[in-house]
Amino acid sequence: GAVVSQHPSRVICKSGTSVKIECRSLDFQATTMFWYRQFPKQSLMLMATSNEGSKATYEQGVEKDKFLINHASLTLSTLTVTSAHPEDSSFYICSASDGRANTGELFFGEGSRLTVL
Amino acid sequence: KNQVEQSPQSLIILEGKNCTLQCNYTVSPFSNLRWYKQDTGRGPVSLTIMTFSENTKSNGRYTATLDADTKQSSLHITASQLSDSASYICVVSGWYNDYKLSFGAGTTVTVRA
């Protein structure tokens, strides 16, 4: 089946630094990718929808200047957490669709655990 | 109010037993409903996806049902195994132009020997 790869799987950084997380669709082209945040024992919370070649669409309450999303190619989207603070520590997951997002199959990455000290 | 409600929030079952998870949704117009399994610290993995016209779909010991009229779905796990311990998430898609998906809060299943 299709695979979505996320990197890094774990990252620890100091407060104030920026962290970049990559999401790649390995064997299909993804015009749309999604970024989620998940707190312990809670379900996924959609942060933004990343569209190849255009600006990301952010969910209400998500700071676009804080969470920079770039979808430069059909196989790669990046999430950059800028000036990270301890409250940004979370599990970040991406997903990608091989077709229209609400009708095609949706594949998730393995997630990236961010810890901000 | 969340458009996808899952129940129970969590459950514990003995190995070898069956269990059924519920998902009720209000998303309309409806496109499809997906069930995912998420192991702790991992990304969700697709179990089933059903469109409006499908009533049941199986994937090994997992069987999902869908009643689009009552807007209800269930996921039945047969002969549970320890590896079934995970969170099960119901995701519903509507015919939105912005491809928005609605996520349930998930049901945490713990299988004990």
Q: Tell me the average pLDDT across B10-19.
A: 97
Q: Write a three-state SS string for A53-104.
A: CCCCEECCCCCCCCEEEEEEECCEEEEEECCCCHHHCEEEEEEEECCCCCCC
Q: Is A30 exposed, middle or buried (0-12, 13-18, 19+ CB in 10 A)?
A: buried
Q: What is the pLDDT of residue B36?
A: 96
Q: Does the distance separating the beta carbons of A43 and B105 come in below 8 Å? A: yes
- Using the Cα atoms of residue A92, residue B20, residue B22 and residue B67 in order, give the sign of their dihedral: positive
B30-56 per-position pLDDT tens digit: 888 999 999 998 999 999 999 888 999
> Minimal Cα–Cα distance from B16 to chain A, Å?
25
Residues B55-94: tens digit of each pLDDT: 999 999 999 999 999 999 999 999 999 999 999 999 998 8
Q: Report pLDDT for A31.
A: 80
Question: Which residues in chain A come in under a pLDDT of 50?
Answer: none
| Contact present, A91 and A109 (Cβ < 8 Å) | no
> What are the two backbone dihedrals, phi and then psi, of residue B80, each rounded to the nearest 5 degrees?
-55, 150
Using CA coordinates, name the residue in chain A closest to B5.
A43
Question: Would you call A102 and B106 a contact, using CB atoms and an 8 Å cutoff?
Answer: no
Continuous segment of H or E residues that includes residue B31:
strand B30-38
Tell me what pLDDT residue A53 has: 80
The pLDDT value recorded for residue A103 is 62
Residue of B3, B6, B99, B108 to mutate, testing the A interface (most A Cβ within 10 Å of its Cβ): B99
pLDDT at A100: 59
Size of interface A-B (CB pairs under 8 A): 63
At B111 the pLDDT is 98
Pair of tokens at residue B42 = 């991992």
- Partners of B2 on chain A (C-beta within 8 Å) are none
User: Is the pLDDT higher at B5 or at A53?
Assistant: B5
Residues of chain A neighbouring B89 (CB-CB closer than 8 A) = 43-44
CA atoms B42, A111, A94, A82: torsion sign:
positive
Give residue A27's pLDDT: 85
